[in-house]
């Protein structure tokens, strides 16, 4: 993006956003898509999305959606 990380954070802040917010939004959209396909196990989805542990993914998904990934899939 041809700017320093500090400049990027400042620009995002001016827009009322943050890197973490954008990352969470993208992860949530990708997680919903992968869960909707129903073929990949939840632990593998966690890996694909960059979570080091399945539990971390489950906690994040609960925060984003209010339901567990397994319930979202069903």
Per domain, the residue ranges of the chain are 23-73
Homologous superfamily of 23-73: Homeodomain-like (1.10.10.60)
Tens digit of each residue's pLDDT, the chain (74 residues): 688 989 988 998 999 989 889 999 999 999 999 999 988 999 999 999 999 999 999 999 999 999 999 999 87
Predicted confidence at residue 69, as pLDDT, reads 95
Quote the pTM value.
0.81
What is the C-alpha to C-alpha distance for residues 2 and 44, in angstroms, rounded to an integer? 33
Instruction: Name the phi and psi angles at 43, rounded to 5.
Output: -60, -35
Q: Rounded to an integer, what distance in angstroms lies between the CA atom of residue 51 and that of residue 70?
A: 17
- C-alpha span between 64 and 50 (Å, rounded): 16
pLDDT at position 5 is 87
56 close to 69: Cβ distance less than 8 angstroms: no
Joined together, the tokens standing for residue 29 give 């959209």
């Amino acid at each position: 993006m041809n700017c320093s990380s500090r400049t990027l954070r400042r620009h995002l802040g001016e827009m009322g956003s943050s890197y973490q917010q954008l990352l969470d939004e993208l992860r949530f959209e990708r997680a919903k898509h992968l869960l909707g396909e129903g073929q990949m196990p939840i632990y593998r989805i966690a890996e694909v999305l960059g979570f080091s542990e399945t539990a971390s993914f489950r906690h994040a998904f609960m925060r984003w959606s209010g339901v567990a990934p397994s319930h979202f899939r069903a």
